[in-house]
Structure 1
Amino acid sequence: MKNLINKWNEISLVKRIIIGLVIGITLAVTIPKAAKPIVIFGSLFVGALKAIAPILVFFLVMSAIAQHEAGHKTNMKSIIGLYLLGTFLAGLFAVVASFMFPVKLTLAAGAENVTAPGGITEVLKALLMNIVDNPVKALYNANYIGILSWAILFGFALRGAPDTTKTMISNFSDAVSQIVKWVINFAPFGIMGLVFDSIATNGIKSLLSYGQLLMLLVGCMIFVALVINPTIVFAYIHKNPYPLVFKCLKESGITAFFTRSSAANIPVNMSLCERLGLDKDTYSISIPLGATINMAGAAVTIAVLTLAAVNTLGIHVDIATAIILSVLSAVCACGASGVAGGSLLLIPLACSLFGIPNDIAMKVVGVGFIVGVLQDSCETALNSSTDVLFTATAELAERRKKGKEIVLGEMGM
């Protein structure tokens, strides 16, 4: 048994995930009733990741700031700029694609037991209130904006603490990271349960009726991942960006696709940044921050579904309004993590730009929930993999400015 476990662990995580994926699909298609108990593996895996991720973020950020050496430069300004630029361009392309390939919806479905924000002021207020949320409550509710703000404050407050205190905090951070690695090791079983549950519960037929909408959503996200993001990276590093892009998609995007949680995928991204040889002082902050504000996939979802509602109702959209929608979708996307229900519940806010009544907008949200299995998976994969991509890009760009030769092979590619 021990030899079998060792051989299993010797296989790369991605290959093990693919094995779990194939088994989950096979069982869902052949014996869905008999194999139903394996659903618990998916629930346990995601539950464990979501439980430990807030604690990990808090200690990682606090420890990184507390132990930051004065004069040691980080690339946070560049990374935040990349996050915002990538999110805006994703929303802009989604608007353009929606004009090129207009989609109409059958608004028969409704969203029940959900409450959408009333306006942009309400979204911004929620974000600000989350920043000053009770730290214990923020950890309990996985409010990552609040967790980040308090971790940063504690980190700065502890910069003058004795080395023994900093060492203790660092030890706690390492211990939580180790626990996360143990949980990640069970990803193949968790993903087997998750994919089984998705197919057995919703079936493939439920998605086919919204095939055109799904093609537009997924197509936009693929274009952002394989064209827009690489273009941004090339503009910064002046090297072929695709080795880095594909590595991020492979090692971060795949797990994010199945867990459907940027927060739960933070440990995977941290580990990838470490293997890429990036500056820990930077990525220990940029990765948790990216899970909060780097939301290109959410911007695509908001823009596409809003314009689908516009097309369905026959509302005329001029260029100026389209540009405003691009900006609004980017702003809403950055605030998605602070609103229960994520990006889908911000669709009524974007719909209000065109005077669409809230009851109709909530039916669009209902359609979003129907296609959410695939839409949310692709959205999370794009968002999470881009966190690492832009963190690495900023560091490579800094090396180029200093006249250092950029060799992607040094980063494990």
Structure 2
Amino acid sequence: MAVIELADYGPDFNVNPYPYYAKLREAGPVHEVRASDGNQFWLVVGYEEGRAALADPRLSKALATMGYESADEAIMGPHVLTLDPPDHTRLRKLVAPEFTPRRVEAMRPRIQRITDDLLDAMVPKGRADLLDALAFPLPIMVICELLGVPYADRDTFRAWTNEIVAPTTPTGQRDKTVELCAYLDELIEDKRASGPADDLLSTLLRTRAEDGDQLSAAELRAWAYVLLIAGHETTVNLISNAVRSLLDHPAQLAALRADFSLLDGAIEETLRYEGPVETSTVRFTTEPVSYGDTEIPALRTVLVALASADRDPARFPDPDTFDIRRSGTPGRGPGHLAFGHGIHFCIGAPLARLEGRIALRALLERCPGLEFDPAAGPYDWLPGMLIRGVRELPVRW
């Protein structure tokens, strides 16, 4: 099987990858590819194969599987995105109680208040970049309050996280990771010195499991890093992708305005149709594994193309149609893989969904004439294959 050069697809692959994923799926569910940066890996593009890979214990998250040390772990400490059981199980168990649906639902009034305040400032202006006015500040305010991070540092966080998830220079990701981790070290020490508080970082400093287990300083820093990055960057793009998809489909927007009981469906369909995460984080084969008729050798890097899996016609009829009335599968919910699957399923999924629902409803209620700003130029898409979204979304009402 020849290695597929993704660079041959040109810049259009970044703008609209879905037709290219469709061609890959037609040729088979798994392909060996090389990205434009020269990295070579196996890309799983089929739904059933992607779902299986995400939960396959033969795929490791630890770079040590490949005989290398993780540069990320050296900077930030061990974290759930780069660990396998039992280490992954232990770290997730210590934090999971803070993200139960009941705990998240208790945050609804505060999220609603933040949303209303942002719209109070935005609506009188008649037009805005929706990312700057709502989609970015809402999740960063929520995660900052949750963790106990000063919101005054939000612009610095945005610069850090943008470069970490979509680097613009060869060393950008590492440089910003170093800066963010140094900041978190100082913040955690301040909280340790100042005593008990109600924020999540302070709570995790005190948390002990029944057997007395507790997060180390490095593990706490790593959790703070992961929650800051994943806890807001994906939700930023969930909100903006939902608005963009609805404005691109006026009949769907009209249906939602007429019946807000379709709101959950609109969020789930956005996650499937234009989810904020295009591909999974990397996994490594610990032994030869087969998906469909394709065998991936041992010690190879694997990515699951979530954006492709969620448009697989074998799983979703008419997959390129945005349909907020689309129903899920009994017993499997919406069925999409936007939050992953298996033991690495996104711990913050309930919070992302809640923020998305609140933001979208409030925006549509407050801005009945919402539309794309006709003076705006073409979209500036985020680079790379990790995060799917745009840097700006100019709208008016």
Bigger helix fraction: 1
Q: TM-score, normalised by structure 2?
A: 0.29
Q: TM-score, normalised by structure 1?
A: 0.28
Bigger strand fraction: 2
Greater relative contact order structure (CA < 8 Å, 6+ sep): 1
